[in-house]
Structure 1
Amino acid sequence: MSTSYLFKGGLIATFDSENKPRTFKADILVENDIIARIDQEITADASVQVVDCTGRWITPGMVDTHRHIWMAVMRGSQGDWLLTEYLIKNSWHEQGDVTVSEVRTGQLAGCLDALNSGVTTILDHFHAANSPEHADAALEATLQSGARVILSMARQSAPTKVLPQMEFGKEADSVKWQWEKLKEWAARDGGKLSPDGRVLLGFAYDQDMFNPDEALIPMHQEALRLARSLPASIITSHVVSGPRILTWRNAGLLGPDVAAMKEHGCAIAATPEDELGMAHGVPVPFNALDRGVKCGLGIDCTSINGGDIFTQMRVALAWDRGRRHEKIVKEKLPPPKYNIHNAADAFRLATIGGAEALNLSGSIGTIEVFGIHSKVLSSTRPTQMLNL
């Protein structure tokens, strides 16, 4: 099969390395999966596969900064749930009972759904690691799919009892095998779970959500220390309303590997459709950008939402405009001359914004010759992401 492609006659839409939106017509030559040349008229030799893009847009692959890929196996079953229903019915019941086969099916279908929707890079908060076999099935399906994924296995166990008081009777066993599995994966070329680095090791941590006691802060600190020592390329966690970001900050848990606060170099993964539908709180992506905080978009639960990022762009932009217009009406302010944020801002969130949030802006998120905008792709200290 050819490893070189020439995309002819398309209209390119991207952001450049100076953070400016650009739209222009050009040919793109890709060699060994890397953009080698962009020019008005490129002639290819016989070994290059030519793709006619006349009348088509060419954009960077969309970047999803927070998705539960495996939940595609549950598609359509949870669309009307609030977060409270989701936690009780899914997180504390269904999730603990999914089989290895269901996880494998959901993971493969979820990755292919993303690719079919133009999403080529995904931060996967994988929270169905019920056993070593579940974890391996997720990895196998991810590798098979061809998607670029940061596979972030969640350090948690399913509850063995919910009422009258929640109990986690399998936690001791889960702690042992999950850390062993994470170390095993990390030993693969420093966390490169595929030889080409397309699939990377991440780490998901929500234990402080279920164990908020201050006495457990040393346990949380140790968990993040271990994750950073693996190293995991990124650490991700959920934040739903409330002051949990401040709790993380005050406990010394934040760093450039947990997306949260500007002063800690963190980033936010905003999932506006899910947040509005499940009563998570209000979407914050444009608020984050206004404050200089790195931010990308995500779809969150594939059991509820479609696999595309276009919907997230539209919802985020509509919400931001709506709240601003509501303020104008309530405070009887003069009507605005134009919208503060536009479609290009939403497009940036879905592409280079997401790449920046995942610390991958040197290799994804824009359409430009590789090397012009390259940065260090990883370091001994991972990036932290908080899903807001």
Structure 2
Amino acid sequence: MNKYLLKGGTVATFVQATNQPGAFKADVLVEGSTITQIKENIDAAPDVEEIDCKDKWITPGFIDTHKHIYATVLRGNHADMLFTEYLVKYLWTVQGTLTPEEVAIGELAGCLDALNNGVTTLLDHFHAANTPAHAEASLKAAVDPGARVVWAPDQLSPNTQLFPTLEYATDAETLQWQRERLKEWGANGGKLRADGRVLLGWAFDRLGFGRKPTVPHEQLLAEARAIPVQTVTAHIQSAEQVLLWRDAGLLGPDVVFSHCCGLVGHAPLNEEAWKALRDSGTAIGTSPEDELGMALGNGVVVFDAVERGVKVGIGADTNSVNSGDLFTAMRFALQDARFREQQRVQAAKEAVPFKHKYGSVDVFRLATLGGAEVLGLANIIGTVEVGKKADLLIFDTNSVNLAGADDPFSGVVCLAAGEDIEFVFVDGEVVKKNHRLVREWAPIARELKSRAEDIRKRWPADVLEGTWKRWYDIIVNQSRP
């Protein structure tokens, strides 16, 4: 059993019982997968490895509540795209042609990218489960690096036709094998890794998207919950979609809706949807960077949810669109909320506020305890407390980014980057040490680059641009009176 004593650091964490933040000097003892002591002046036993944490911050690992991990195989390809352009140039074209090997290297690289940036837990909405081979490749790669993952394959098949209209000829076949595999994957109570670090979820982008299954929605979700899956997740934009789930009786504390940008604002239908979310315990996983960058809605709903008592976390979404870290996501969430509050103050002609309405500590919570609540895992992760799993980060405050900073919450949220994280623990295992991943990165980088090049050769940029122009012209013509 691994034992570590994190000696002389500053612990920065929320306390779950009080929902209050605290930063204090303490030693942290990790035995096996668990935090067993937090206090000053713990004496190290002979079998304990001591880590000098003088001038270090010890925090919980970050929790990403919405991620398509495998898409790292095309890192940056979609950074300048509108959302509809992304659909046409990727989801409805390229994605259906990916090989299991391309999916696997994207998944592996994406998990390691997350760990390098202090993201210890991810909700993986895996929407490239084109065949059983694709799903197994993704799962193996998610289990391998040591991250904590809720792996949620999406039951939707890739489209079989794009023009003149979208068609999904293999939908029934895909749904059938997924239902069968879901039971197989869940045979151990949803544990996909022996130590419970990887759990089974299910992504369900059907209700409200016009994709009617041969089996009723209610039956499909009842089957998944009977396994049980840890989380049911879906992309949701509008109040109408939320209410479809409510009226079908499908909302619940195991449901995580992604984005929900259409709920920004105080329209009556929005408030009805917010009430449905709060009353059912349904959560939201936002991804502030791409929601703003791809023009997905009126803003980021993070603090709209907080103010209404709805569980909410943040995520990085897709490495093919934006960065895979949560530092960027935290900053986007915070500054978008501040901008919108300033707009409100100006529109209402109120006095200039004395202080910002939201601070660094608020988004720190979203990336730690808030994310754990979203995934139903707050009993084991999300805070640095005795009895919790040892999912921990150690920040070096002598780094170029952090030297001179004295507040760990504003330091982590507003100043830090992955390079400042000296150690990352997941379940008591060291996965990053001395600022470097324990797993050798060079061979993974070589394969990642090779697989990405293969995909780009199959799908030249000019071909995708022509496909997008054809689709765009159809949309414009249909919108004309």
> What TM-score, normalized by structure 2, do the two folds share?
0.74
Aligned to 1:126: 126
Larger radius of gyration: 2
Query: Percent identical across equivalent pairs?
Result: 49
The alignment status of 1:273 with 2:289, answered yes or no, reads yes
Deviation of 1:220 (Å): 1.7
Unaligned runs of 5+ in 1: 373-388
Question: 1:304-350, CA deviations, whole angstroms, 9 ceiling, x for partnerless residues?
Answer: 12121111111101001100101111221111111111111110000
Tell me, yes or no, if the aligned pair for 1:259 and 1:265 is still in contact at 8 Å.
no
Say which is worse superposed, 30-39 or 247-256, in terms of deviation. Answer: 247-256
1:241–1:280 Cα contact (<8 Å) kept = no
- Equivalent residue letter for 2:321: I
Match of 1:222 in 2: 219
Which residue of structure 2 lines up, in the alignment, with residue 339 of structure 1? 356
Taking structure 1 as the reference length, the TM-score comes to: 0.92
Aligned ranges 1:99-248 → 2 under 5 Å? 99-187=99-187, 189-211=188-210, 219-241=216-238, 243-248=240-245
Measured in 1, the distance between the counterparts of 2:123 and 2:87 equals 21
| Aligned residue identity for 1:227 | A
Question: Does structure 2 retain, via aligned residues, the 8 Å contact 1:204–1:236?
Answer: yes
SS of the aligned residue for 2:41 comes to: coil
Report the residue type matching 1:191 in the other structure: G
Q: 2:386 aligns with which of 355, 358, 369?
A: 369
Are 1:254 and 2:264 matched, yes or no?
A: no
Query: Tell me, what secondary structure is at the counterpart of 2:356?
Result: coil
Deviation at 1:242, TM superposition (A): 5.4
**1:49 partner letter:** E
Read off the aligned partner of 1:181 and give its amino acid letter. R
Deviation, structure 1 residue 212 = 6.0
Give CA deviations for 1:252-307 in whole Å, capped at 9, x if unaligned. Answer: 22122223600111111011111111111121011100100011111111211212
Distance (whole Å) between structure 2 residues aligned to residue 217 and residue 168 of structure 1: 13
Q: Do the aligned residues in 2 keep the contact of 1:217 with 1:251 (CA within 8 Å)?
A: no
- Rounded to whole Å, the distance in 2 between the matches of 1:103 and 1:113 is 15
Q: How far did residue 243 of structure 1 move?
A: 2.5
Unaligned runs of 5+ in 2: 258-276, 390-481
Instruction: Give the SS at the match of 1:312.
Output: helix
Alignment of 1:304 with 2:318, yes or no, is no
Equivalent position amino acid for 2:331 in 1 = R
How much does 1:230 deviate?
A: 1.7
The match for 2:426 is none
Rounded to whole Å, the distance in 2 between the matches of 1:131 and 1:284 is 34
Q: Does structure 2 retain, via aligned residues, the 8 Å contact 1:151–1:200?
A: yes
The one-letter code of the counterpart of 2:206 is Q
Q: Counterpart of 2:202 in 1: which secondary structure?
A: strand
Find the aligned partners of 1:246 and 1:67 in 2 and give their Cα distance: 24
Larger mean CA deviation between 122-131 and 48-57 belongs to 48-57
AA matched with 1:91: L
Matches of residues 354-365 of structure 1 in structure 2 within 5 Å?
354-365=371-382
* Cα separation, partners in 2 of 1:158 and 1:218, compared to 1, 3 Å: closer
Match of 1:80 in 2: 80
Q: Distance in 2 between matches of 1:123 and 1:371?
A: 19
| Distance in 2 of aligned mates of 1:371 and 1:159 | 43
Alignment partner of 1:51 is 2:47: no
Match for residue 280 of structure 2 among 236, 246, 264: 264
1:209 CA displacement:
4.2
State the distance in 2 between where 1:368 and 1:229 align. Answer: 32
Cα RMSD over matched residues? Answer: 1.6
- Equivalence for 1:21: 21
Paired with 2:34 and 2:103, the residues of 1 have a C-alpha distance of 32
Retained in 2: the 8 A contact 1:4–1:30? yes
Conservation of the 8 A alpha-carbon contact between 2:125 and 2:152: yes
Give the deviation of 1:104 after TM superposition. 0.7
Secondary structure of the residue aligned to 1:125 is: strand
1:93 alignment partner, SS class? coil
Secondary structure of residue in 1 paired with 2:94: helix
Alpha-carbon distance between aligned partners in 1 of 2:67 and 2:57, rounded to the nearest angstrom: 26
8 A Cα contact 1:26 1:40, kept in partner: yes
Amino acid at match of 2:372: A
Partner residue in 2 for 1:60: 60
CA distance in 2, matches of 1:78, 1:96: 16
Contact 1:4 1:49 in 2 (8 A): yes
**Aligned residue for 1:384?**
none
Rounded Cα–Cα distance in structure 1 between residues aligned with 2:346 and 2:42:
53
d(CA) in 2 for partners of 1:206 and 1:288? 22
